[in-house]
Structure formats: C-alpha cells, structure tokens
Amino acid sequence: MIRSARSFLFLLFLLIPVLATADEQQKAHKILNKVTAIATDPIGRRAVSLAMSQCLPVDRKELAQRRREMNLNYGDLFVAYELVKSGTKMDDIAAKMKTGKTIWQAADEQRPDWKQIGDEAKKLNSKVDINLIGHFRNNKEAEDKRDRIDGYDPTLDTVAADNNVSKQEIEDAEQRYVFLRDHSGAVSNSTLDTSTEKAARGVLGGPLKPPASIE
C-alpha cells in the first residue's frame, strides 16, 4: 500500500509540469484565436498585420508571403515567429507542417515557453485594438499611405487557414469590433488589462470598458 502511494505521488509529481504546460498552451491558443478571428475582416486584417509587424518586428510584406507559403492564419503565424525568435528555423517548421502536423504540434516538439508566448500574444492583441481605434478615428489617409509604403493590401492577404476559427470566436470578434468602433471617441470605466488600458488612454485620453471577448 505504501509503495503504491509513493508510486502515485511520484507519477503525480511528473505530471504536474506537463499539465501546467498544457494549460499555458491552451491559454496562448485562446488569445491567438482572437487575433485570427478579428483578421477575418479586411479592416481587422490590416490592424492585425500592422500589429504583428510592430511586435515581432517583421515587415508586413514578409508576413503576407509567409502566410501564403505555409497556409497559416495570423494566430498560427505568430507562433511560428515566436519559435524563430527562440532559434528554430522557419524552413524546419515548414518541413514539419508538410508532414501533416499543425503549427501547435510542431511547436510542442520544441518545448517552448508557452507562458511567454501567451504574454507576447496579449501584447499583440493590445496593439490590434489600438490600430483599430486609430482606424475608427478617421485616419484612413494615413492607413492608405502606410499600406502603400509597406506594399500591403488586406484584400489580397487571405489564406484558407483564416477560416480555422469557430462561429463563437467570430461572433466575439464582431462584438469587439463594434465596441471599439462605437467607443473610439468615448471615455468610461475600465476593466481592460493594464497594457491595453494604458494604450487606449494614450489614444483616447481615457479608459474603456470592453465586452468580455476582449478581456
């Protein structure tokens, strides 16, 4: 009985870090699915493309090219570049995906720091919101100029993998989009995460209170 109890505790001890890693991966996946969902709309895609270029940093033309070559939506593309930042070669990632593996399966083999990737994904989401707010503040001329300089066209930046999001995630993205549009010049109480709140204050002069899908 004592030996069995010790074996169970030892097994549990081994499983705890595995379960913790899986939980962090799930959190990162959920955050990045928000990015993918908001990018199903051309306006949202422009905001996501610019935000990812700002975060990585990688120019938008390269991001669009990588998406076409590897059939990656923006959430999955972010994971690929996070792996590259850790020393993995993009060609090696592409080779693994050609065998039928998803980017998440390929990433797991590298044992990445999923908590760090999740934290970076939150920063990406914050920049997406700020870029959308800028769009709704009637900066279309500046947006068009930036697109021309970057050689970027959101209407052409599409791949089949962009559809790999659920109906609920699309609905959440729509709520997020409408909220930011309707409050692009408003100020109210805030429940945003710290980074998003600070960024929103910088653009709007005050905090916003978002729907649950943004938090």
pLDDT tens, residue by residue, 124-177:
999 999 999 999 987 788 889 999 999 999 999 999 999 999 999 999 999 999
Mean pLDDT per 10-residue interval, the chain, length 215 residues: 52 42 88 96 96 95 96 97 94 94 92 94 96 88 92 95 95 95 63 44 45 52
Phi-psi region of 72 (alpha: psi -120 to 50; beta: other; left: phi over 0): beta
pLDDT of residue 190: 37
Going from N- to C-terminal start, the domains of the chain cover 2-204
Query: Could you tell me the two tokens for 208?
Result: 């916003």
What does R_g of the chain's alpha carbons equal in angstroms? 19
CB atoms within 10 A of CB 120: 21
